[in-house]
Amino acid sequence: MNCNETKFGGAVVLKVAGRVDLSNADEFKDKLTAALGNAPGGSATGGLVVDLGGVDYISSAGLRSLMIVFKASKAAGKQFAITSLQPLLMEIFTISRFHLVFPLFDTARAAIEKQVPDALGEFDSHK
């Protein structure tokens, strides 16, 4: 599993690639937590966008890591979004019913536009 974090104004985008399972779920949670910590909270509009486009498998332990950080984002008043799910990953989210829990978007841009609109200009300027 590889994680690559980039900040666009108030939006932190964490691009994840590889396989997330019981063996690296704790590491995944730590990366998510650190990335969430880098997003502004409080009165500033900030949030974490988790781009799973490079992930080909996620186990229950990985989904649990996402759930923990999603709850933490709510507690911190920060936005949270998951984007770019491959078809197989979308099936896993659907069968596990996490598609009903997490805010899902087709692309990181769509997530930022909806969740952290003030950061959209900076995101687009990096393209």
Q: Which residues bind another protein (CB under 8 A)?
A: 22, 25-26, 29, 57, 59-61, 63-65, 67, 88, 91-92, 94-98, 100-101
Q: Phi and psi dihedrals of 114, rounded to 5? A: -85, -45
Nearer to another protein, 29 or 46 (CB): 29
How far apart are CB 41 and another protein at their closest, in Å? Answer: 22
Burial group, residue 108, by CB count within 10 angstroms (0-12, 13-18, 19+): buried
Q: Which residue has the tokens 């019913």?
A: 97
DSSP H or E stretch at residue 83: strand 79-83
How far apart are CB 73 and another protein at their closest, in Å? Answer: 14
Length of the chain, in residues: 127
Nearer to another protein, 67 or 120 (CB): 67
